[in-house]
Amino acid sequence: MSFIYVLGAIIALSFLIFIHELGHYWMARRTGMRVETFSIGMGRAIVSWMYQGVKWQIGWLPFGGFVKIAGMDGEKDQDPYTVKEGFFGKSPWDRIKVAIAGPFVNILFALLAFALLWAVGGRLKSFSEFTIKTGWIDPVSELYQQGVRPGDEVLAYDGKPYQGINDLVYLGLTQSGPVELIGAKVDEIT
């Protein structure tokens, strides 16, 4: 089972690297820089192909990745600032945009992913948010003395329908007098 977790972590990390490098790639192309290589993974390429003048490749080591832009390697006997459509041939502002695009895409992806998870109810919820049943009751409390036991259901309080544990928390903070609880006794067979 741990192999599946390791494989899942590698795939997730590779995806995050991919979108990070895609941010650099997209901004470099948008600012007129010539991208020579887009690589996910490091080391010798397992597979590579050409698409729109860019060598796309997947390296054998699944960690890391890079976008090689013309003029970044510093070819022999050539000033990197003279490379046509090269990284250093563009304005400092364009180079900053390319450098920031990768982390920006990661942050944007994280915000969108967590917003989506939150919207579909993917946040951790405690059991008390799902039930109207009481949990632990302090044996010296007034409720216990009145016969309320763990597992009993709370249906309403002071004439208002009970929706969850937060109702009782707010009630305890705002109410100073006695509260009328309406519930149902649940006799568990043990």
DSSP output for 93-145:
HHHHHHHHHHHHHHHHHHHHHHHHHHHTT-S---GGGT--B-----TTSHHHH
Candidate list 21, 75, 85, 188, residue with the active-site label: 21
> Rounded CA gap, 34 and 16, in Å?
23
Task: Look up 21 and say whether it is catalytic.
Answer: yes
Q: What tokens does 159 get?
A: 């004439």
> Rounded CA gap, 29 and 31, in Å?
6
| Catalytic residue annotation | 21
